[in-house]
Every structure is written in C-alpha cells, then in structure tokens.
Structure 1
C-alpha cells in the first residue's frame, strides 16, 4: 500500500508528466503497476516523461517480485538477520522446504530475475528495427522496459498503441520473446528453481555415466507434485487455447496475418490472458465465444508464487481433480500416487469462491456507476483487474471516477488475494481437541 502511495506521488511530479494527471488517474496507474496489472487510463507513451516511465518500470519490478521478497532480502542484507516470524512468513510465501533455505532461495530468485530480464532485454533489443527507433539509448530503454514488464506479467508498453502499433504488430520475433518472458515469469519461482535442480540432476547423472565414477554424497532430484501439476496445466491450457483461437479467429482477427504469423499471433493471444496483458490484436473484434475463452483463461491465471495473478493453475487443477474423484466415488483427491491434503483443497475452493464474489461485486458496482456500458465489457474488465491481466475491451479510459476506484480496489485485492486479507483480519482459532457430530447437507 505504501509503495502504491509513493508511486502515486512520484507520478504526479512535474518531472514525470507531459500532461496534467488527476490524483485518481495517478493512483490508478500506480496501483496497476505495483499490482502488475497493465490496465491504463492514460497513454504511457504520451502522458509520461522518461522519468515517469522509469518510475512505472521500477514499480512494476517491485510489484512483480513481491514486496516480501525485497523487504526480506534487504532486511537480511543490511541488518544481518531477520526475525523468526518473518522468516516463517517468507518460507510460506516462497514455498521453501526449510526456514534455513529462505534467504538462499531469495538470492536465487533475485539472480534468476536479473539473468532472465537481462537476456530478455538483449533479445528484444536485437529484434527491433533500428529505423523505427534510431537512437540506441531509446532502444535500450524500450528493451529493458518491455523485458521487465513482460517477465513481471505487467503488460505496460511505451508504444502509443502497445504491440498493436502498426509497425510492430508483425514483429513476430518480438512477440515470441515476450511470450517466453511472461510464461517464464508466470510459472513461479519455486517451480523454476525445482526444474533447474531437476535438470542439474539429469546432467550430473549423465556425467557420472560418461566418466564411470560414483558419487557417495549424490542426492536424487525429482520434480515435485506442485511443479508437475502446474507445468502440465500451464502448457495444456496454452496448447488448447492456441488451437481453439487459431481456428475460431482464422478469418477474423487473424485474417491480416499470413503463414506462420497467424499461428504466432494465435499463440500470443492464447498466452497473454494468463496475466501478461499484452495484445497484438483488437480484443473487441473477437468472436463472442473467443472472448468467453479469454475470460476463463484470465480467471485461471498463472502459477502460485509467480509474477502473475488469477486463481492460479494449481487451484484450477484441484477443481478438475475433485470432479474426477467425485465421479469415481473416491473420498480423497489423488495425484501422481499422492493424496492432496484437505487443507489445500479447502484453500483452493475458498480462493475460487472469493474471487467470484469480488468480481461479481465489482461488476455490480460498475454497472451502477456506468449503466450505459456493456455488461460483457464490464465483466471482462473486472476479470482482467482481479487476475492482474491488463487486457480490456476498450472501456478503461471511459470509466467514471467511481468505477476507476472500484477497479483499483479489485486490482489490489487480486494481487494480495482476498483469502490473505481475510486471514490477516480474523484471529486464527487455536487447535481444539473436540469435533462436533457430522451432518450431511443436500447438494444435488
């Protein structure tokens, strides 16, 4: 919250602006950046100076990595330690196996972020047409800004019309680089670290076989259940959505593209709703069924402990597994020869229910403040805000002040999650050594 307020103040400084900016619009932009959403009420390219755009980029970076990551690392670095309670909170947030591994994981996260964003910026720089941006310093800023925005799943762009800009819409190399960045950022740091350890394990085994030597302290590494489920869900959604959009939009929004360009644009359109927020087509021109698919993808979002939002791929997977278990008559959810804990299942369904309640309330309030707007446009906007996506059907700039404030609150709740807010508000009940009699309720 403090970072959002600080960003609001900085974005209202004369050095940040080319044009006047209201306090509500500054708050909206700052919230959108910190919550890595990407919804904008003013044009980032024309409204903000280089300083203002740099402020937005820093807010995106801080929001993408998470304030807990930064505060934990710098508390440890400058003070030489951290409280045990803080370490426990960070352990849960980072999904670390042991408290002692928290700061090792934090260092790995910062290192991975720096390497990926630097590599992404370099690739984006090389993909640019020097004739479009003659000044090499401007090309570097463009590359760094979009690398950070992509990896953090923010969706902010310094182009007047984003990636729909006429001179960039057919830059398929740029689109592929951005896809890789926001998919990587959306996987979640624990999953990325687990996968890296797994590949290191495979490399070690290969080297041991080639050199025909034994290693006494050799430790086997396997992909965790969390990694397997989220990876399978992520790539299944990407493949299925790409195929559907490719055929549904072939003669519609993809008509202006040719050959491989149609497939890449379909892939980009299928991947970006997973909280990235960039668009290379006009979403308002999508078929109605395609728009509904985009809303579903936005609601699902990215993986846990990632730079993305949504209810998360793990939550969606557990819902599917639960349906299958009920259909088979099983009392427990079993995945990869493991039983999922009841606590995890309860949290997953609480997250799904609370998300729909927040989005539903948001739709109700905005239809009250802006009754002339289409229900589909408003619903799309609310799903996008809650899942910190940043996609819109073109109504963001036309929202009334009341509706803007509603979207600001939804973006904040979507990033922090309603479940976390409720947990912080209500006192936890201590363990009790009794249970009430079980009672069945009629469901269907």
Structure 2
C-alpha cells in the first residue's frame, strides 16, 4: 500500500463500513491524517453524535456539508421532471444522492490538500461507480482508496468482528444488520432475509419501516391533498408555498402515514448482478404520480412519447452515476423545454398504499371538453374520420390485396 499518503478525506456516514475504515486507514497508511466528511442529504438523527464518534475512532475532524436544498432542487426535481424511473419501480433515491456528496467531498479534498479520497462502497455495488465518476469530474488526478477492494474483510459479520476488536461502538447488531441508506427522499433496506426474493418483507415488524406504515396499518379514512406545479416543479402543497426540502418532508409525512411508496424489487446492478431491495419513498411516489398526471393534460402526444423514451435513458444515466456528463445535461435541457407548460394543480386521494387521482387543472391544458364530448358538438365532423381511416389503413389494405393475388396464382 502507498505509504506516501499523508492526508485522506473519507466519505463518512458513521455506519458500519466507514466506522471501521478510519482505524484501518491509520493502520495501513502510516498513521495518516483522516478528515471525515459527511454530506447531509437528510439523514436526520443518523448525524447525531457523528463528530464525537469520528474523532474517537481516529479522525482529525468531521466536516458536515448541508446539501439538502441543493440535493432536492438540483438533483431530485430534474429527475422527477424527466419522469426517470429505473426498471419501472426504483425512484433512484440512493443514485442521485451520490453525485452531490462526491462532488462536495472532492471540493473539500482539494481545499484541504489531501493526497487521496476514500469511500466505503463495496466492490459488488453501484455506489463505487457513482462516487468515483463524480470524483473524476471534479478532482481527476486524486487517488481513490476503496478498502472493500483491497482489504481482507469479506463480510459484514467480519466488519463487526473488526469493530469489536477495536472498541468501535455500533448502532447495529448481527440480528438487525440490514444494509440501509437514508436521505430526505427515501430509505433502502438490503441484506439478511431480503437476500432471498422468496421471502416477504416484514413490513409490520417493529422497527423495519421508518418513514411510514404498511398499507394494512394505514387509516381507514383517505387523505386528500393538492399539489401545485410551476414548469414541472412542485411549489405549493394545499395552498402553502414550500421549498424543495419542505415539500418532500411534508409529503413524506402524509405519504408515510397512508402506507404510500413501498417498493420491493429485484434490480439489475450496473456491475452485472441482480440484487433485491425494499425501498420506502412516500413523498417521492406522490410527486412522480402527481407530475405524470399533470403532464397528461399539458403535453402533446409526440412530446410525451419522446419523454417516455428518453426517461428510460435518463434513469440509466442517474443509476449508473453519469450525472456530470454532457448527455445528462443535454437531456435535462430537453426536459426543461417540455416543462414550460407543465403548470397547474393536481388533487390526489391517499388511501392505504394507493394514490388515486381526484382532479387536475392547468392554464395550459390541451384537453378540450367541447372536442372530446360524447354529446352534440359543432367542432368535430365525424365524417372526416372515414378518409383518415382509409389513408391510415392503406398499407394494410394494399398488402392484403397483393397477398390475395399471390395466393391465387
């Protein structure tokens, strides 16, 4: 190992991986200085006591960067506007949090004159790619240390053994050792019984769900909400103006209380394997749904179709850690153009895990009741459809007649 490294900036969460990495770095890199950096993207109480813990395990200091507002408004909202959902289910909660954290860590590493940046991502996961691509974008010459790719530890049980041997306090034990990632947008659960897709998630087990309740435990009375959007961005909830942090926090509470936003899926990781995860995204599920409803009356068919196609690519880009690329910027520019008329109000009914449409209006609506009505109207001549069908069906008719000629020979 490179003994010349004197100062390392560590992406620090205080979880199992990064808790043992600080003493491991000092043992293996000649007692180097370790500066712990935590990006606050809404982990909440997970940040409590983090500075004391980092210093006790050997860090020279802890820097906590408040990234919540930027995270929601510059990373989450552009993804929602794009309608980007990975493999139809995953609302990208971990994926778009990594680039903003890695960007800030790279900036701090350069400012501190660090020799290397270290992260606790495993060699099996997606996060190692997301972190390192972002670091390459802002500190292209910085050395990166990824302990999971070089140390002898092979499992989370062995990590706990290391922590116990070094008197490192942990908030978990071997029985509740789910791998979790929490931010303002979501909470993910992986590992233990969830590694077998045949096992049903224990939603009603005390302590499993943190952002809400299961649909069975939700109230019998529905909750109605109205979200106002301006150019694709949610700005008001039930008539009250909210910034990004306030909006997501409020919708997380309302959605969580009504059992909204649970997703159990087997996804295809970038590194090639399949993995099973359970995600809680109550506010995010509501925002995606509301935005999609509003677009149904504000976008023409061809623009909506193109957005759907590109939304799949946008989701892949976010999932694969390619946020800081020309293609993502170009796709965002396209999305922003489509959102110029996506302004209006969406009313929803939240009930036992369901998001039910309850009305949508927009000053830019393309829905004309006079044209669409089943009653008498003076704007649509139904006789016109005969000529349209003749031309639209001409290729089918021509092929059928030619097939008949060929078959009769």
Q: TM-score, normalised by structure 2?
A: 0.27
Q: Which has the higher strand share?
A: 2
Q: Which has the higher helix share?
A: 1
The structure with the largest alpha-carbon Rg is 2
Q: TM-score, normalised by structure 1?
A: 0.25
